[in-house]
Amino acid sequence: MSDYIIRATAGDHQIRAFAATTRELVEQARQAHNTSPVATAALGRLLTAGSMMGVMMKGEDDLLTIKIQGSGPIEGLTVTADSKGDVKGYAYNPGVMLPPSQAGKLDVGGAVGEGVLSVIKDIGLKEPYIGQTILVGGEIAEDLTYYYAASEQTPSSVALGVLMNKDNTVKQAGGFIIQLLPGASDAIIDSLEKKLGEITSITELLDQGNTPEMILEHILGEFGLEIMEQIPTRFYCSCDKARVEKALVSIGRKEIQEMIDEGKSIEVNCHFCNKNYEFTVEDLKRLHEKS
Protein backbone atom coordinates (compact mmCIF):
# COMPACT_ATOMS: atom_id res chain seq x y z
CA MET A 1 0.00 0.00 0.00
CA SER A 2 1.51 3.30 -1.04
CA ASP A 3 -0.82 5.85 0.58
CA TYR A 4 0.42 7.61 3.67
CA ILE A 5 0.26 10.76 5.76
CA ILE A 6 3.22 12.72 7.09
CA ARG A 7 2.93 14.54 10.40
CA ALA A 8 5.48 17.30 10.83
CA THR A 9 6.32 20.46 12.69
CA ALA A 10 8.33 23.55 11.78
CA GLY A 11 9.32 27.00 12.98
CA ASP A 12 10.19 25.91 16.48
CA HIS A 13 6.72 24.38 16.95
CA GLN A 14 4.91 27.49 15.68
CA ILE A 15 3.71 25.50 12.67
CA ARG A 16 2.22 22.03 12.45
CA ALA A 17 1.76 20.29 9.15
CA PHE A 18 0.21 17.23 7.57
CA ALA A 19 0.65 16.05 3.99
CA ALA A 20 -0.80 13.00 2.32
CA THR A 21 -0.68 11.00 -0.85
CA THR A 22 -4.01 9.19 -1.30
CA ARG A 23 -4.20 7.95 -4.89
CA GLU A 24 -4.98 4.34 -3.97
CA LEU A 25 -7.66 5.09 -1.43
CA VAL A 26 -9.43 7.54 -3.71
CA GLU A 27 -9.30 5.00 -6.55
CA GLN A 28 -10.74 2.40 -4.21
CA ALA A 29 -13.56 4.74 -3.24
CA ARG A 30 -14.20 5.42 -6.92
CA GLN A 31 -14.50 1.70 -7.65
CA ALA A 32 -16.65 1.00 -4.59
CA HIS A 33 -19.14 3.75 -5.38
CA ASN A 34 -18.77 3.91 -9.15
CA THR A 35 -18.44 7.68 -8.92
CA SER A 36 -18.51 10.03 -11.90
CA PRO A 37 -15.32 12.09 -12.45
CA VAL A 38 -16.63 15.17 -10.63
CA ALA A 39 -17.95 13.02 -7.76
CA THR A 40 -14.58 11.21 -7.59
CA ALA A 41 -12.86 14.59 -7.28
CA ALA A 42 -15.25 15.84 -4.58
CA LEU A 43 -15.21 12.61 -2.57
CA GLY A 44 -11.46 12.17 -3.07
CA ARG A 45 -10.74 15.64 -1.74
CA LEU A 46 -12.93 15.09 1.31
CA LEU A 47 -11.47 11.62 1.98
CA THR A 48 -7.96 13.10 1.78
CA ALA A 49 -8.89 15.84 4.25
CA GLY A 50 -10.60 13.29 6.48
CA SER A 51 -7.55 11.03 6.59
CA MET A 52 -5.35 13.93 7.75
CA MET A 53 -7.92 15.35 10.18
CA GLY A 54 -8.47 11.86 11.58
CA VAL A 55 -4.84 11.35 12.56
CA MET A 56 -4.86 14.76 14.29
CA MET A 57 -7.01 13.16 16.98
CA LYS A 58 -5.20 11.60 19.88
CA GLY A 59 -7.43 8.86 21.26
CA GLU A 60 -7.32 5.35 19.90
CA ASP A 61 -11.12 5.17 19.50
CA ASP A 62 -11.68 8.77 18.41
CA LEU A 63 -13.83 9.23 15.33
CA LEU A 64 -14.13 12.18 13.00
CA THR A 65 -16.98 12.79 10.59
CA ILE A 66 -17.06 15.53 7.96
CA LYS A 67 -20.41 16.23 6.37
CA ILE A 68 -21.13 18.53 3.47
CA GLN A 69 -24.74 19.35 2.73
CA GLY A 70 -25.18 21.47 -0.36
CA SER A 71 -27.72 22.75 -2.87
CA GLY A 72 -25.79 21.35 -5.84
CA PRO A 73 -26.56 18.12 -7.76
CA ILE A 74 -24.17 15.96 -5.71
CA GLU A 75 -26.49 16.75 -2.75
CA GLY A 76 -23.86 16.07 -0.14
CA LEU A 77 -20.92 14.00 1.06
CA THR A 78 -20.07 12.21 4.28
CA VAL A 79 -16.61 11.02 5.30
CA THR A 80 -15.61 9.26 8.53
CA ALA A 81 -12.04 8.74 9.67
CA ASP A 82 -10.34 7.32 12.73
CA SER A 83 -7.08 8.31 14.37
CA LYS A 84 -5.18 5.42 12.78
CA GLY A 85 -5.47 6.44 9.13
CA ASP A 86 -8.60 4.51 8.16
CA VAL A 87 -11.11 6.55 6.21
CA LYS A 88 -14.39 5.83 4.41
CA GLY A 89 -17.10 7.90 2.81
CA TYR A 90 -19.65 8.43 0.10
CA ALA A 91 -21.32 11.00 -2.11
CA TYR A 92 -25.12 11.17 -1.89
CA ASN A 93 -25.44 11.33 -5.69
CA PRO A 94 -22.31 9.55 -6.97
CA GLY A 95 -23.35 9.63 -10.63
CA VAL A 96 -23.54 13.43 -10.94
CA MET A 97 -22.33 14.73 -14.31
CA LEU A 98 -21.47 18.37 -14.94
CA PRO A 99 -19.69 20.27 -17.72
CA PRO A 100 -16.17 21.41 -16.77
CA SER A 101 -15.73 24.74 -14.98
CA GLN A 102 -14.61 27.88 -16.83
CA ALA A 103 -11.02 26.96 -16.03
CA GLY A 104 -11.56 23.60 -17.74
CA LYS A 105 -11.46 21.73 -14.43
CA LEU A 106 -13.87 19.29 -12.81
CA ASP A 107 -16.53 21.56 -11.35
CA VAL A 108 -16.58 20.39 -7.72
CA GLY A 109 -17.90 23.76 -6.52
CA GLY A 110 -20.77 23.53 -8.98
CA ALA A 111 -21.55 19.97 -7.92
CA VAL A 112 -21.61 20.89 -4.22
CA GLY A 113 -23.33 24.28 -4.44
CA GLU A 114 -24.18 26.38 -1.42
CA GLY A 115 -24.57 24.87 1.98
CA VAL A 116 -23.02 23.83 5.24
CA LEU A 117 -19.89 22.00 6.35
CA SER A 118 -20.04 20.10 9.63
CA VAL A 119 -17.17 18.51 11.50
CA ILE A 120 -18.18 16.06 14.21
CA LYS A 121 -15.50 14.76 16.57
CA ASP A 122 -16.36 11.89 18.84
CA ILE A 123 -13.48 11.81 21.28
CA GLY A 124 -15.14 9.72 23.98
CA LEU A 125 -16.90 12.57 25.81
CA LYS A 126 -20.59 12.44 26.62
CA GLU A 127 -21.45 14.63 23.65
CA PRO A 128 -19.48 14.81 20.42
CA TYR A 129 -17.87 18.10 19.46
CA ILE A 130 -19.68 19.65 16.48
CA GLY A 131 -18.36 22.59 14.46
CA GLN A 132 -20.32 24.04 11.61
CA THR A 133 -19.58 26.70 8.99
CA ILE A 134 -21.10 27.76 5.70
CA LEU A 135 -19.50 26.65 2.45
CA VAL A 136 -17.42 29.40 0.87
CA GLY A 137 -17.31 27.97 -2.65
CA GLY A 138 -17.79 24.26 -2.33
CA GLU A 139 -14.31 23.39 -3.62
CA ILE A 140 -13.73 21.74 -0.20
CA ALA A 141 -10.13 22.88 0.55
CA GLU A 142 -11.25 26.53 0.85
CA ASP A 143 -14.28 25.45 2.84
CA LEU A 144 -12.06 23.65 5.34
CA THR A 145 -9.65 26.59 5.54
CA TYR A 146 -12.63 28.75 6.42
CA TYR A 147 -13.91 26.16 8.89
CA TYR A 148 -10.57 26.11 10.73
CA ALA A 149 -10.45 29.92 10.94
CA ALA A 150 -14.08 30.47 11.92
CA SER A 151 -14.86 27.43 14.05
CA GLU A 152 -11.54 26.37 15.56
CA GLN A 153 -9.72 29.75 15.49
CA THR A 154 -6.73 28.04 13.89
CA PRO A 155 -5.27 29.84 10.85
CA SER A 156 -4.71 27.05 8.34
CA SER A 157 -3.84 26.46 4.75
CA VAL A 158 -5.62 23.47 3.25
CA ALA A 159 -4.80 22.10 -0.21
CA LEU A 160 -6.57 19.07 -1.68
CA GLY A 161 -6.48 17.64 -5.16
CA VAL A 162 -7.53 14.72 -7.33
CA LEU A 163 -6.13 14.30 -10.83
CA MET A 164 -7.84 11.87 -13.21
CA ASN A 165 -6.50 9.70 -16.00
CA LYS A 166 -8.19 9.85 -19.41
CA ASP A 167 -10.03 6.61 -18.58
CA ASN A 168 -11.45 8.30 -15.43
CA THR A 169 -9.35 6.30 -12.99
CA VAL A 170 -7.42 8.26 -10.37
CA LYS A 171 -3.96 9.39 -11.46
CA GLN A 172 -2.94 11.37 -8.38
CA ALA A 173 -4.58 12.44 -5.16
CA GLY A 174 -3.28 14.15 -2.09
CA GLY A 175 -3.20 17.26 0.01
CA PHE A 176 -1.76 19.14 2.91
CA ILE A 177 -2.97 21.00 6.00
CA ILE A 178 -0.55 23.56 7.43
CA GLN A 179 -1.56 25.30 10.65
CA LEU A 180 -0.21 28.18 12.69
CA LEU A 181 -0.16 27.46 16.36
CA PRO A 182 -0.91 30.14 18.98
CA GLY A 183 1.98 32.56 19.35
CA ALA A 184 3.28 32.25 15.79
CA SER A 185 5.35 35.33 14.99
CA ASP A 186 4.44 37.84 12.26
CA ALA A 187 7.70 37.07 10.49
CA ILE A 188 6.78 33.38 10.22
CA ILE A 189 3.25 34.21 9.09
CA ASP A 190 4.50 36.55 6.35
CA SER A 191 7.09 34.23 4.89
CA LEU A 192 4.77 31.23 5.10
CA GLU A 193 2.06 33.11 3.23
CA LYS A 194 4.55 34.02 0.53
CA LYS A 195 5.72 30.44 0.22
CA LEU A 196 2.16 29.08 0.06
CA GLY A 197 1.33 31.62 -2.64
CA GLU A 198 3.85 29.91 -4.89
CA ILE A 199 2.07 26.54 -4.71
CA THR A 200 -0.27 26.19 -7.64
CA SER A 201 -1.39 22.57 -7.57
CA ILE A 202 -0.79 19.74 -5.12
CA THR A 203 -1.56 17.07 -7.73
CA GLU A 204 0.89 18.65 -10.15
CA LEU A 205 3.61 18.38 -7.50
CA LEU A 206 2.71 14.74 -6.87
CA ASP A 207 2.57 14.04 -10.58
CA GLN A 208 6.10 15.42 -10.95
CA GLY A 209 7.22 12.72 -8.56
CA ASN A 210 7.28 14.74 -5.34
CA THR A 211 6.50 12.81 -2.16
CA PRO A 212 4.55 14.37 0.73
CA GLU A 213 7.90 14.77 2.53
CA MET A 214 9.35 16.66 -0.43
CA ILE A 215 6.28 18.89 -0.70
CA LEU A 216 6.49 19.82 2.99
CA GLU A 217 10.25 20.35 2.67
CA HIS A 218 9.57 22.65 -0.27
CA ILE A 219 7.07 24.74 1.70
CA LEU A 220 8.52 24.55 5.21
CA GLY A 221 12.20 23.72 4.66
CA GLU A 222 13.36 27.24 5.46
CA PHE A 223 11.51 27.12 8.80
CA GLY A 224 13.32 23.98 9.92
CA LEU A 225 10.98 21.15 9.01
CA GLU A 226 10.92 18.24 11.39
CA ILE A 227 9.11 15.10 10.22
CA MET A 228 7.56 13.35 13.19
CA GLU A 229 5.77 10.37 11.75
CA GLN A 230 4.65 8.54 8.62
CA ILE A 231 1.20 6.98 8.97
CA PRO A 232 -0.26 4.55 6.40
CA THR A 233 -3.77 5.47 5.30
CA ARG A 234 -6.43 3.45 3.46
CA PHE A 235 -10.06 3.31 2.42
CA TYR A 236 -11.51 0.94 4.95
CA CYS A 237 -14.99 0.13 6.19
CA SER A 238 -15.45 -2.07 9.24
CA CYS A 239 -18.95 -3.23 8.34
CA ASP A 240 -19.71 -6.95 8.31
CA LYS A 241 -22.81 -9.13 8.47
CA ALA A 242 -22.82 -9.22 12.27
CA ARG A 243 -22.86 -5.41 12.51
CA VAL A 244 -25.59 -5.11 9.91
CA GLU A 245 -27.58 -7.73 11.84
CA LYS A 246 -27.30 -5.68 15.00
CA ALA A 247 -28.59 -2.64 13.14
CA LEU A 248 -31.49 -4.67 11.76
CA VAL A 249 -32.39 -6.04 15.21
CA SER A 250 -32.42 -2.49 16.56
CA ILE A 251 -35.13 -1.33 14.12
CA GLY A 252 -37.63 -3.40 16.08
CA ARG A 253 -39.66 -6.58 16.19
CA LYS A 254 -42.68 -5.24 14.37
CA GLU A 255 -40.64 -4.01 11.39
CA ILE A 256 -38.83 -7.32 11.08
CA GLN A 257 -42.15 -9.19 11.21
CA GLU A 258 -43.38 -7.00 8.34
CA MET A 259 -40.33 -7.99 6.28
CA ILE A 260 -40.97 -11.67 7.05
CA ASP A 261 -44.60 -11.24 5.96
CA GLU A 262 -43.38 -9.88 2.63
CA GLY A 263 -41.86 -13.31 2.11
CA LYS A 264 -38.79 -12.08 0.25
CA SER A 265 -35.14 -11.83 1.15
CA ILE A 266 -33.92 -8.29 1.70
CA GLU A 267 -30.71 -6.49 0.84
CA VAL A 268 -29.11 -4.03 3.23
CA ASN A 269 -26.60 -1.59 1.79
CA CYS A 270 -23.69 -0.05 3.68
CA HIS A 271 -23.57 3.58 2.52
CA PHE A 272 -19.91 3.97 3.37
CA CYS A 273 -18.48 1.17 1.23
CA ASN A 274 -21.53 0.25 -0.88
CA LYS A 275 -21.40 -3.41 0.12
CA ASN A 276 -24.73 -5.28 0.09
CA TYR A 277 -25.76 -7.80 2.71
CA GLU A 278 -28.48 -10.26 1.93
CA PHE A 279 -30.91 -11.54 4.54
CA THR A 280 -33.19 -14.42 3.63
CA VAL A 281 -36.61 -14.91 5.24
CA GLU A 282 -34.97 -17.59 7.40
CA ASP A 283 -32.36 -15.04 8.54
CA LEU A 284 -35.10 -12.56 9.34
CA LYS A 285 -36.99 -15.13 11.39
CA ARG A 286 -33.84 -15.78 13.40
CA LEU A 287 -33.41 -12.03 13.96
CA HIS A 288 -37.05 -11.71 14.96
CA GLU A 289 -36.46 -14.18 17.74
CA LYS A 290 -33.41 -12.26 18.90
CA SER A 291 -35.12 -8.86 18.95
Residues forming contacts to Zn ion in the complex (CB under 5 A) are 237, 239, 270, 272-273
CB nearer Zn ion, residue 91 or residue 206 = 91
Q: How far is CA 121 from CA 20, 251, 261, in A?
A: 21, 25, 40
Question: Would you report the helix, strand and coil content of the chain in percent, each value rounded to 5?
Answer: 35, 30, 35
Minimum CB separation of residue 86 from Zn ion in Å reads 12
Which residues in 185-210 are b (16+ Cβ under 10 Å) and which e? eeebeeebeebeeeeeebbebbeeeb
Q: Say how far apart CA 205 and CA 196 lie, in whole Å.
A: 13
Q: Say how far apart CA 32 and CA 23 lie, in whole Å.
A: 14
Q: How far is CA 207 from CA 142, 162, 178, 202, in A?
A: 22, 11, 21, 9
Residue 112 has a CB neighbour count (10 Å cut-off) of 30
CB nearer Zn ion, residue 225 or residue 270 = 270
CB nearer Zn ion, residue 238 or residue 265 = 238
CB nearer Zn ion, residue 96 or residue 237 = 237
Q: Say how far apart CA 154 and CA 54 lie, in whole Å.
A: 16
CB nearer Zn ion, residue 56 or residue 239 = 239
Amino acid at 134: I
CB nearer Zn ion, residue 37 or residue 50 = 50
CA angle 177, 152, 91 (to 5 degrees): 60
